[in-house]
Structure 1
Amino acid sequence: MRWLIGRLWLRIFGWTLVGTLPDAPKWVFIAAPHTSNWDLPFMLATAWSLRVRVSWLGKHTLFEGPFAPFMRWLGGLPVDRRAPHGLVAQVVGEFARRERLVLAIPPEATRSYRDFWKSGFYHIAVGADVPVGTGFLDFAQKRCGLGPTLRLTGDVRADMDRVRAFYEPLRGKVPADQGPVRLREEGEASP
């Protein structure tokens, strides 16, 4: 049913789906660029059209009370950001515990302009030793899907050069809110 909803959504809006899934049961799904509230329905339609059951991270309090089952059904994974061992360690642990997990992470972390991407996706992928699927929305071309699957090496600059090469030509719905594709760990001199 989700597949049909996703395909119908993309067809109604005139979008083209491209790419292939990583050949792995566990991977990090980068969701970028992220400049508008429209990104959520388009990224869900993309994932559903590719028949990917994505998970996402949510504050643990979202998973308490009457909406907890619905949040889990949507793919939510509760995380406690106050935990002393940190968010990355919690998520790496989730990858270790599960046979299958596709975790969607928008590295821009907000719809507003930022000078740097958040590095959590990078540290999670390296820590869990899982590939990164380059999920994307290109509002200028009305294209969405998955670009190349990347195995991160731990060389932040070299890995991000590959990520940058893919994402820099893409345009979010609000291009003025789209920041550079770089991590703080790369230093201020990065492109």
Structure 2
Amino acid sequence: MTATSPLATKRPSPSDRRGPFGWLWRQFCALYLGLGGWKVEGDWPAPHKAVLIAAPHTSNWDGMWMLAAAGFYRIKLRWIGKQALVDHPFGWLIRWLGCVPVDRKAARDMVDQMAVAFAQEDRLILAVAPEGTRSATREWKSGFYRIARRADVPLIISVLDYGARTIRIAGIYETTGDYEADLAGVRAYYSGAKGRYAEKFDMTER
């Protein structure tokens, strides 16, 4: 089921493939987080491939803070974008920034396309916001779970808690195939967490 990382420490990924500027980028991200009043908790887990649950997601600022946390942890965070974002002369830049494009006109659905992307990469940490929207919602879409199952990768629990001003890497969650049970287990990590707009994020039992 679950194996939670110690939260007292905040060890980054042991490898950083960004070359000589990796150390400098990590320091910049640490400074950016500090100036924003954020702290990080939890060690970065071992898997090179995983779906990272990015929640709560109630504001465009969430992505900026998560990217900064990824830089602190020496991780290149990837995200799903429309194919149109990369179908132009500067598409390489969008890919470099982390976009994994989805072609909505393709025969394969989004989950299958992400599974192929995982199979083609030796390292891929894919951030997915399970709410699927920045609007108020109590329902999580199952895409993050189905991608993890299809690609045979674990979930990384990340909690962007505006209440405590903390980005917490709570550890790895190995899915079992029982969606309802796993969803309850995952959502428990977010109990008490607050989004930037607290009224848009509610993990209380229904």
TM-score with structure 1 setting the length: 0.90
Please give the alpha-carbon distance, in whole angstroms, between the structure 2 residues aligned to 1:159 and 1:144.
22
User: Equivalent residue of 1:149, what SS?
Assistant: strand
Superposition pairs of residues 55-134 of structure 1, within 5 angstroms: 55-134=78-157
User: Equivalent residue of 1:91, what SS?
Assistant: helix
Q: CA offsets per residue over residues 123-146 of structure 1, 9 Å max, x none?
A: 011111111111221001010031
Q: Do the aligned residues in 2 keep the contact of 1:58 with 1:78 (CA within 8 Å)?
A: yes
Please give the alpha-carbon distance, in whole angstroms, between the structure 1 residues aligned to 2:154 and 2:187.
16
1:6 aligned residue: 29
Q: Do the aligned residues in 2 keep the contact of 1:113 with 1:177 (CA within 8 Å)?
A: yes
How far residue 179 of structure 1 moved from its aligned partner, in angstroms, is: 4.6
2:201 aligned residue: 178
Aligned residue identity for 2:52: F
Q: CA offsets per residue over residues 43-99 of structure 1, 9 Å max, x none?
A: 111111111111111100000113312101111111112323200011011111211
1:148 aligned residue: 171
Please give the alpha-carbon distance, in whole angstroms, between the structure 1 residues aligned to 2:69 and 2:144.
19
Over the residues paired in the alignment, what is the CA RMSD in angstroms? 1.5
Please give the alpha-carbon distance, in whole angstroms, between the structure 2 residues aligned to 1:179 and 1:64.
37
Please give the alpha-carbon distance, in whole angstroms, between the structure 1 residues aligned to 2:167 and 2:61.
13
1:50 aligned residue: 73
1:31 to 37, 48, 54: 54
Runs of 4 or more above 6 Å deviation:
none
> Closer, same or farther in 2 for the Cα pair 1:83/1:114, shift >3 Å?
farther
1:159 to 177, 182, 198: 182
* Identical aligned residues as a percent: 41
Aligned residue identity for 2:175: L
TM-score with structure 2 setting the length: 0.84
Point out where structure 1 has 5 or more consecutive residues left out of the alignment. 182-189
Q: CA offsets per residue over residues 101-137 of structure 1, 9 Å max, x none?
A: 1101111121101241111110011111111111221
Point out where structure 2 has 5 or more consecutive residues left out of the alignment. 1-23
Aligned residue identity for 1:19: G
Please give the alpha-carbon distance, in whole angstroms, between the structure 2 residues aligned to 1:56 and 1:100.
13
2:192 to 166, 169, 186: 169
User: Equivalent residue of 1:6, what SS?
Assistant: helix
